[in-house]
Amino acid sequence: MAMITILDQNTINKIAAGEVIERPASVVKELLENAIDAKATAVTVEIRDGGTSMIRVTDNGSGIPKDQISLAFLRHATSKIRAVEDLFTISSLGFRGEALASIAAVSQVELITKTNGSLTGFRYEIEGGAEKGLEEVGAPDGTTFIARNLFYNTPVRRKFLKSPATEGAYVADLVEKIALSHPDISLRFIQNNQNKLYTSGNHSLKDLVYTIYGREVAGNLLEVQGQEGEIRISGFAGKPLIGRGNRNYENYFINGRYIKSNIISKAIEDAYKPYLMQHKYPFTLLHFDIDQDFIDVNVHPTKMELRFKDGDLVYRAVFDAVSKALAYRELIPQVSLEKEKEEPKSEEKTGEKTVRKPHPEPFEYQRRRALGETVKRELPETEKPLERREPEPVLLREEPAARLYGAKAAPEIPKPQIPKPESQKPAPVQMDLFEEKFLDPASRKRHRLIGQVFGTYWMVEYDRQLIIIDQHAAHEKVLYEKTMEALKTRRFDTQMISPPLILTLNTNEALLLEQYMDSFTHLGFEIEPFGGNEFAVRGVPSNLLSIAKKELLMEMIDNLSQEGLAGEPDLICERVASMSCKAAVKGNHVMSQAEADALIDQLLKLKNPYHCPHGRPVMVSMTKYELEKKFKRIV
């Protein structure tokens, strides 16, 4: 056996750093969390070359006293906890005491800090874990942390970093997540001397959504509020029409900490399942306020994962809150016939006359309208647009901090200006509770059924809108809801079939069928062994008689095998309900007007009549205004 030796401290530090610092975004995360823990209200993050050559994080927080500066860079040195018991009641973002030591072990670090009330600040240098000096300098309140040449002393690790553009994108995504988790903090992100993000810190989540995700997302948000035991939830859920092809827009924060949780993701996606197509994921921005003794954040060095004392309670709380936000909303997608044309210039010459056109709506009005506010347009006589003003960017220079903050001539560095939250009350908004909807029973008498096109779509005129209904998707939804209701009330009859259907299953499929045989029997199936790995299906639910085929049953068992639904028999019921959709009337089938009327009447009784069981829209709308634009009645 090889000789056992004790590693030197330098190697130990580098190994420890590898657990915490994976890439430049890891450094930014740790420094941002430290700034937030220091009660900063404004933070500026600047990177160059994706963060590999330079990372600078400046905050206006409490600063670090002189006698504690060098201690802060020792491993397991922290002001957040005192004993192991504190790990289970931690409320700060950082607490392990490994961040600064890990960063200093793999980069050249410069720290400039000043506490409130001190006459001067201090500049501290440490490279590769070795102290280089501590001196007095002039500085504003707060802390500036500069990390240069990341992984300069571990070149092998540096080779595994991606391109500067990609690493910069990771940092940008992280800064956005931190901004969304703390709407009370003004954050600025600068990449290669270009301002990429600025948030005002005015406490408005909706303003943050507009700034980060744009007008379309901000204009399609539903408020989420909920409480289940020790869990309180607030925030927004996006309407299904802004669904995406990945989970990148699923944002949720626990006590101000951005985390990833399979339980929360599953609850969100299950709540959206009736509204979104397969392989589509929703936009969410949810803030959780959970008692500290209900969670354990001491799970992973990056603190991106945590454990819950009761995962089932978390699932129910999220599912119920999101489902409640989506239920009973008018979710008919609106179809636009053409993109909006660019606004004409202020003045156009027509013949000999000069016609003055109104100026495009100012940016601030567009923003407020997208956020759902009611705005009254008031422009000066000259009709100049309102200017969007932001505080001047922080002056960034290449000089080392020794020259920026010389002890002999300390410059006056302005403190970050934090806009105060507006005191004015928001404009009143009509509650959705009183919104008149197409599928409200009270609106039914105003529907005018025009006819069918392409043997598939029915057109209905209602309240200056043209509603187009997909008869197949509508019938699928009605059958699905009827089947699910029958499952709840156990109103199933078995229809015997002769000859029986013979299923040949492999060992795994046979085990699954035997495991859930009681569930199949409850649903109305009559299945018995037929020798070897063959099973005879002698009876099926009466509502599935017309579609009960061997291929359909095999598809259902295949789905059970692929998705690993062990322990979740309720999902078998959903599979059966989905099978019932096969009996829905197809496209290119001519229905009578009476049948179409009856179908609409059945849609009126559903909780979610807007999407079929597979997430496709049942109906879309087109406004009279859009039609008149197309026919040039409106220009």
Angle at the Cα of 21 (from 15 to 24), degrees rounded to 5?
145
In this structure, are residues 395 and 378 in contact, taking their beta carbons and an 8 Å threshold? no
Q: According to the model, what pLDDT value does residue 302 have?
A: 54
Q: According to the model, what pLDDT value does residue 541 have?
A: 77
Q: Identify the weakest region by mean pLDDT among 459-468, 521-530, 537-546, 570-579.
A: 570-579
303's CB contacts (< 8 A; 6+ apart) are: 93, 94, 257, 259, 297
633's CB contacts (< 8 A; 6+ apart) are: none
Q: How many CB atoms lie within 10 A of CB 245?
A: 9
Helix 550-563 × helix 570-580 angle, to 10°: 140
In this structure, are residues 232 and 290 in contact, taking their beta carbons and an 8 Å threshold? yes
Q: How many CB atoms lie within 10 A of CB 435?
A: 11
Secondary element (H or E) of residue 135? strand 130-137
Tokens describing residue 201 = 């810190």
Please check the confidence at residue 176 and state whether its pLDDT lies above 80: yes
Arithmetic mean of pLDDT, 452-467: 87
Q: According to the model, what pLDDT value does residue 508 have?
A: 75
Cα separation, 131 vs 127, whole angstroms: 7
Q: According to the model, what pLDDT value does residue 161 have?
A: 92
Angle at the Cα of 336 (from 333 to 337), degrees rounded to 5?
140
Cα separation, 13 vs 235, whole angstroms: 41
Please check the confidence at residue 579 and state whether its pLDDT lies above 70: no
Secondary element (H or E) of residue 619? strand 619-623
Q: Say which CATH topology domain 492-583 has.
A: Ribosomal Protein S8; Chain: A, domain 1 (3.30.1370)
- Looking at 3.40.250.10, 3.30.300.180, 3.40.50.620, 3.30.565.10, the CATH number of the domain 9-198 comes to 3.30.565.10
Cα separation, 98 vs 126, whole angstroms: 15
For every residue of 181-232, DSSP letters joined together read: H-TTSEEEEEETTEEEEE---SS-HHHHHHHHH-HHHHTTEEEEEEEETTEE
Identify each DSSP E strand in 338-447 by its residue range.
Answer: 347-350, 353-356
pLDDT single digits (tens) 141-165 = 999 999 999 999 888 888 889 999 9
Q: How far is CA 547 from CA 132, 492, 540, 580, 616, in A?
A: 79, 16, 10, 8, 22
Please check the confidence at residue 416 and state whether its pLDDT lies above 60: no
Q: According to the model, what pLDDT value does residue 77 have?
A: 54
Cα separation, 170 vs 150, whole angstroms: 15
Region(s) of the chain under CATH 3.30.230.10: 205-326
pLDDT band, very low/low/confident/very high, at 463 (cuts 50, 70, 90): confident
pLDDT band, very low/low/confident/very high, at 580 (cuts 50, 70, 90): low
537-540 long-range contacts (CB < 8 A, ≥24 apart) are 537/497, 537/500, 537/501, 537/502, 537/503, 538/496, 538/497, 538/498, 538/500, 539/494, 539/495, 539/496, 539/497, 540/494, 540/495, 540/497
Q: How many CB atoms lie within 10 A of CB 235?
A: 23
**Burial (Cβ within 10 Å: 0-12, 13-18, ≥19) of residue 620:** middle
Q: Say which CATH topology domain 205-326 has.
A: Ribosomal Protein S5; domain 2 (3.30.230)
Cα separation, 274 vs 293, whole angstroms: 34
Q: According to the model, what pLDDT value does residue 432 have?
A: 42
Cα separation, 145 vs 112, whole angstroms: 7
Instruction: Identify which of 31, 174, 42 has the alpha carbon closest to the alpha carbon of residue 102.
Output: 31
Instruction: Identify which of 444, 446, 488, 481 has the alpha carbon closest to the alpha carbon of residue 464.
Output: 446
Please check the confidence at residue 440 and state whether its pLDDT lies above 60: yes
Q: According to the model, what pLDDT value does residue 614 have?
A: 75
Region(s) of the chain under CATH 3.30.1370.100: 492-583
pLDDT single digits (tens) 194-204 = 999 999 999 99
Q: Which residues pair with 452 in a beta bridge?
A: 458
Cα separation, 470 vs 616, whole angstroms: 10
For every residue of 502-543, DSSP letters joined together read: EEE--HHHHHHHHHTHHHHHHHT-EEEE-STTEEEEEEEEGG
Q: According to the model, what pLDDT value does residue 628 have?
A: 85
Q: How far is CA 490 from CA 482, 484, 485, 553, 575, in A?
A: 12, 10, 8, 21, 16
Tokens describing residue 511 = 């085990």
581's CB contacts (< 8 A; 6+ apart) are: 476, 479, 480, 612, 613, 614
Per DSSP, the chain holds a count of helices (H) and strands (E) of 19, 24
Identify each DSSP E strand in 333-476 by its residue range.
Answer: 347-350, 353-356, 448-453, 457-462, 465-470
Arithmetic mean of pLDDT, 199-222: 91
Q: Identify the weakest region by mean pLDDT among 27-31, 284-288, 498-502.
A: 498-502
Cα separation, 319 vs 272, whole angstroms: 9
Region(s) of the chain under CATH 3.30.565.10: 9-198
DSSP state of 334: B
Helix 550-563 × helix 507-515 angle, to 10°: 90
Cα separation, 561 vs 509, whole angstroms: 7
Dihedral pair phi/psi, residue 265, rounded to 5°: -60, -45
Cα separation, 484 vs 577, whole angstroms: 6
Bond from prior residue into 569 cis (ω within 30 degrees of 0)? no
Q: According to the model, what pLDDT value does residue 245 have?
A: 83
Dihedral pair phi/psi, residue 620, rounded to 5°: -130, 160
Give the residue with greater pLDDT, 398 vs 304: 304
Q: According to the model, what pLDDT value does residue 264 have?
A: 92
Q: Which amino acid is at 159?
A: K
Residues across the chain: 635
Q: According to the model, what pLDDT value does residue 292 have?
A: 80
Instruction: Identify which of 579, 581, 573, 575 has the alpha carbon closest to the alpha carbon of residue 611.
Output: 581
Cα separation, 526 vs 536, whole angstroms: 8
Angle at the Cα of 138 (from 132 to 139), degrees rounded to 5?
95
Q: How many CB atoms lie within 10 A of CB 470?
A: 19
Q: How far is CA 580 from CA 474, 499, 577, 584, in A?
A: 13, 22, 5, 8
